[in-house]
Structure 1
Amino acid sequence: MKSIADEISLLITTYNNPNFLDIVLKSVLAQRVLPKEVIIADDGSGQPTHELIQQYQKIFPVPLLHAWIPDEGFRASKVRNVAVAQSSGQYIVMIDGDIVIGPTFIQDHRMLMKPGRFVTGSRARLMQKATEALCRKKTHHVSFWNPGLRRRLVLLRIPFMHYLIKGNSGTKRARSCNLGVWRTDYIKVNGFEEKFIGWGFEDWEFVQRLYNIGLVRKNAKMLAPAIHLFHPYKNASRAEINEQMLHHTRESKKTRAEIGIDQYL
């Protein structure tokens, strides 16, 4: 019987990619320490994703919840808020539906969670042919020596080295694909800003508001390894508008989302 981190809810965003979600869920099942629950934040996926989640719900050793919203375009901010509102853990660990996590991922985030800070992690990149091969095999296993792997040093887990490497500051490489935050802090900043629609900068803006309430960033260097599966880039037509909203949050020291999680609590 595996141990369970009763404090942690794992949130996985997804949209119409059951092949990736299947691999990601397999990597969750392989955790040495499981989260207390897994919540699929589903931005409007169709029936194949629903059926996959139902299959996994039958075998998952912890609750597997499905937070779904209708498909109205890229609404990652909204679906994260809906999912977190359904969570029961004290601490939220977020990944995207294209992130395969190493077996110590939850264990490492549990070690890093401390009041007054949030945690950001890195991810290696699996290139297109290697990702396609992984999907054909339907496996989550990726080794350090896997062909087609970029930024493979991210997969090195050396806990004592973690304390010697500071990592990035500000919003640089602070992405929601590997992010840990206390639920109370998430609610304090009113979650993700739902004025962000389309791809781009909604996670940086969220992190900036965490800074604006006085939290400290901790980088999970040499811990919590993860791998990003290849996919074509999202439609970035809203990126410029979204970046302007990020700049406004920095300059105004904004702390709360105007349209946020409070509407679902």
Structure 2
Amino acid sequence: MKTSVILSTYNSEAWLEKVIWGLSVQTEIDFEIIIADDGSGPETKKLLDRLRCEINMPLIHIWHEDDGFQKTKILNKAIVASTTDYLIFTDGDCIPRKDFVAVHLKYREEGYFLSGGYFKLPLNISELISKKDIENQNCFHLKWLLSKGLKRSFKNHKLTSSGSLSKILNAITPTKPTWNGHNASGWKKDIIEINGFNQEMQYGGEDRELGERLVNKGLRSKQIRYSAICVHLDHDRSYVNEAAWKKNFEIREYTKKNKVVRTTFGIDSI
């Protein structure tokens, strides 16, 4: 297989199902799906057991017991479980457009990681999206979204741009190409060499910190936020807390100041 798509989840079956439907209709089908499950209950396993029989690519479920927010640890386990040399990362609340995997493969390059973004949807539209809407790609069509109540905004260009315009927008956007957990990819060997995600970190910049260590290693980042498109489904974030943000900020500052490449709390400490 050409690549592995790793996506994180936690007790969010309705959103996860929509994401897997999105992956099932990709124009590039030569990939495996790895679910990095941070301790979901049995309903997630039931869902995946059913979907495994309905899609055409391997669906691997990596799970550990619920011990609070341990996303970095389960992502490291998923990295180890992957069987390809190129890894695409997203989240269980981001439906990928049908060319999502193909775009990541098109722009992959030795010495780089790829940085994509997302188009955030309000809760009412997130709930409205059906399997048919994903198969027909309605949830990526601006006219359909506007008809469901989406507000007009310059950000809507993420959905309407293509070809040369996407390349121009990628080049001129002021947003830096960072490692964004909902839409990023890189070579497995590079991620292994930096020891994966820092398992000291909880929610808040833990994805960015991995990218900062890749940069310290000597990699460059490539912007594809207007080319690799996914829509983000709205939900609450009860796992967010100020203490974790503060700790993560301090770790990131230390990583940047000291040019840290390899975390001491990563894959080899699973």
TM-score, normalization: structure 2?
0.89
Conserved 8 A contact 1:35-1:106: no
Question: Which amino acid in the other structure matches residue 142 of structure 2?
Answer: F
Q: What's the counterpart of residue 30 of structure 1? A: 25
Q: Work out the CA distance in 1 between the residues paired with 2:177 and 2:250.
A: 17
Greater shift, 8-17 or 144-153, is seen at 144-153
- After superposition, what is the alpha-carbon deviation per residue over 1:121-162, rounded to whole angstroms, capped at 9, x for unaligned? 111111011112226x78534022203446322123412234
Count of residue pairs brought into register by the alignment: 255
Q: Is 2:96 the counterpart of 1:98?
A: no
Q: What's the counterpart of residue 133 of structure 1? A: 128
The 1:113–1:149 alpha-carbon spacing in structure 2 relative to 1, beyond 3 Å, is farther
Structure (1/2) with the larger helix percentage: 2
Q: What's the counterpart of residue 3 of structure 1? A: none
Conserved 8 A contact 1:189-1:209: yes
The 1:245–1:227 alpha-carbon spacing in structure 2 relative to 1, beyond 3 Å, is same
Q: Is 2:219 the counterpart of 1:215?
A: yes
2:104 is aligned, of 87, 109, 112, to 109
Q: Is 2:196 the counterpart of 1:194?
A: no
Question: Which amino acid in the other structure matches residue 55 of structure 1?
Answer: R
2:187 is aligned, of 172, 182, 190, to 182
Structure 2 stretches of 5 or more lacking a match? none
Q: Secondary structure at the match of 1:59?
A: coil
Q: Secondary structure at the match of 1:163?
A: helix
The 1:149–1:109 alpha-carbon spacing in structure 2 relative to 1, beyond 3 Å, is farther
The 1:149–1:114 alpha-carbon spacing in structure 2 relative to 1, beyond 3 Å, is farther
- After superposition, what is the alpha-carbon deviation per residue over 1:220-241, rounded to whole angstroms, capped at 9, x for unaligned? 1431111000011342231111
Conserved 8 A contact 2:196-2:263: yes
Structure 1 stretches of 5 or more lacking a match? 1-5
The CA RMSD measured in Å over matched residues stands at: 1.7
Conserved 8 A contact 1:118-1:215: yes
Deviation >4 Å, runs of 4+: none
**Deviation of residue 255 (structure 1)?**
0.3
Q: Work out the CA distance in 2 between the residues paired with 1:169 and 1:180.
A: 15
Q: Work out the CA distance in 1 between the residues paired with 2:41 and 2:195.
A: 29
Conserved 8 A contact 1:94-1:176: yes
Conserved 8 A contact 2:197-2:210: yes
Q: How does 1:45-84 map to 2 (within 5 A)?
A: 45-84=40-79
Q: Is 2:236 the counterpart of 1:232?
A: yes
Q: Secondary structure at the match of 2:104?
A: helix
TM-score, normalization: structure 1?
0.91
Indicate the percent of aligned positions where both proteins have the same amino acid.
Answer: 29
1:161 is aligned, of 155, 161, 165, to 165
Q: What's the counterpart of residue 251 of structure 1? A: 257
